[in-house]
Chains A and B, each alone.
Chain A
Amino acid sequence: MGEQKSMTIKGNMATAMGAKLCRPNVVPAYPITPSTLFPEKMSEFIADGELDASMINVESEHSAMSACIGASATGARVVTASASQGVALMHEMLFIASGMRLPIVMAVGNRALSAPINIWCDHQDTIASRDSGCLQFYAENNQEGLDLMINAFRIGEDERVLLPVIVGIDAFVLTHTIEGVKVPAQEDVDDFLPPYKPKHGTLDHRDPATFGSFAPPEYYQEFKFEQTKAMEDSRDVIDEIFADYANRFGRDYKKVSTYACEDADVILLTMGSMTGTAREAVKKMREEGKKVGLAKLTVYRPFPMPELKDILSSAKGVAVIERNISPGSTGAVYAELAGTFVNEKKRPLLKNFITGLGGRDTLVDTFEEIYDKTIEVIENGEVKVLVEWIAMNEEVMR
Chain B
Amino acid sequence: MTQNEDIELFASGHRACAGCGEGTAVRQILKVAGPNTIATICTGCLEVVSTGYPETAWEIPLIHAAFENSASVASGVEVALKELGRKEGVNVLAFGGDGGTFDIGLQALSGMLERGHDITYICLDNEAYMNTGIQRCSSTPYGASTTTSPSGKYSIGESKQKKPIAAICAAHGIPYTATANIAYINDLKKKVKKAIETEGPSFLHVFAPCPTGWRHGSDDTIEIGRLAVQTGVFVLWEAVDGDICNLKVTVMPKKRKPVEEYLKRQKRFAHLTEEDIAKIQQEVDEKCDRYGLPKRE
Do the beta carbons of A214 and B52 come within 8 Å of each other? yes
Q: Is A26 an interface residue (CB 8 A)?
A: yes
Least distance between B86 CB and chain A CB atoms (Å): 7
Q: Is B75 an interface residue (CB 8 A)?
A: yes
Q: Is A25 an interface residue (CB 8 A)?
A: yes
**A residues 202-234 touching B (CB-CB < 8 Å):** 203-205, 208-216, 219
Do the beta carbons of A63 and B51 come within 8 Å of each other? no
Least distance between A349 CB and chain B CB atoms (Å): 44
Q: How far is the CA of A63 from the CA of B106 in the complex (A)?
A: 12
Q: Which residues of B contact A211 (CB under 8 A)?
A: 61-65
Contacts A58-B75, A70-B72 given; indicate if A205 touches B37 (C-beta within 8 A): yes
How many chain-A residues does the 8 Å CB contact rule pick out? 41
Q: Is A62 an interface residue (CB 8 A)?
A: yes
Do the beta carbons of A67 and B76 come within 8 Å of each other? yes
Contact with B along A23-40 (1 / 0, CB 8 A): 001101000000000000
Pick out which of these stretches binds chain B: A49-57, A148-156, A260-268, A389-397: A49-57
Q: Which residues of A contact B81 (CB under 8 A)?
A: 74
Q: Which chain B residue shows the least CB distance to A28?
A: B76
Question: DSSP class of A's interface residues: helix, strand, loop or mixed?
Answer: mixed
Q: Which residues of A contact B53 (CB under 8 A)?
A: 213-216, 219
Do the beta carbons of A205 and B35 come within 8 Å of each other? yes
Q: Which chain A residue shows the least CB distance to B69?
A: A66
Do the beta carbons of B83 and A66 come within 8 Å of each other? no
Q: How far is the CA of A56 from the CA of B77 in the complex (A)?
A: 11
Least distance between B177 CB and chain A CB atoms (Å): 19
Q: Is A69 an interface residue (CB 8 A)?
A: yes
**B residues 89-140 touching A (CB-CB < 8 Å):** 90, 107-108, 110-111, 114-115
Do the beta carbons of B84 and A62 come within 8 Å of each other? no
Least distance between A44 CB and chain B CB atoms (Å): 18
Partner of A74, one of B36, B69, B80, B115: B80
Contact with A along B237-248 (1 / 0, CB 8 A): 000000000000
Q: Which residues of B contact A28 (CB under 8 A)?
A: 75-76, 79
Contacts A66-B76, A67-B72, A203-B38 given; indicate if A210 touches B62 (C-beta within 8 A): yes
Contacts A66-B72, A211-B62 given; indicate if A76 touches B80 (C-beta within 8 A): yes
Q: Which residues of B contact A204 (CB under 8 A)?
A: 38, 61, 86
Q: Is B74 an interface residue (CB 8 A)?
A: yes
Q: Which residues of A contact B52 (CB under 8 A)?
A: 213-214, 216
Least distance between B105 CB and chain A CB atoms (Å): 10
Do the beta carbons of B80 and A63 come within 8 Å of each other? no
Do the beta carbons of B51 and A214 come within 8 Å of each other? yes
Q: Which chain A residue shows the least CB distance to B37?
A: A205
Least distance between A85 CB and chain B CB atoms (Å): 15
Q: Which residues of B contact A173 (CB under 8 A)?
A: none
**B residues 40-55 touching A (CB-CB < 8 Å):** 40, 47-48, 51-54
Partner of B69, one of A25, A93, A210, A213: A93
Do the beta carbons of B111 and A205 come within 8 Å of each other? no
Least distance between A160 CB and chain B CB atoms (Å): 23
Q: Which chain B residue shows the least CB distance to A215?
A: B53
Do the beta carbons of B63 and A212 come within 8 Å of each other? yes
Partner of A93, one of B51, B65, B111: B65
Contacts A57-B115, A208-B58 given; indicate if A67 touches B79 (C-beta within 8 A): yes
Q: Is A238 an interface residue (CB 8 A)?
A: no
Q: Is B286 an interface residue (CB 8 A)?
A: no
Do the beta carbons of A71 and B107 come within 8 Å of each other? no
By Cβ-Cβ distance, the 6 closest A-B pairs, closest first, are A70-B76, A59-B111, A67-B76, A212-B64, A63-B72, A74-B80
Q: List 8 A-B contacts (CB under 8 A).
A: A56-B75, A57-B115, A66-B108, A67-B73, A70-B77, A73-B63, A203-B61, A213-B52
Binding site for B on A (CB under 8 A): 25-26, 28, 53-54, 56-60, 62-63, 66-76, 78, 92-93, 96, 100, 203-205, 208-216, 219
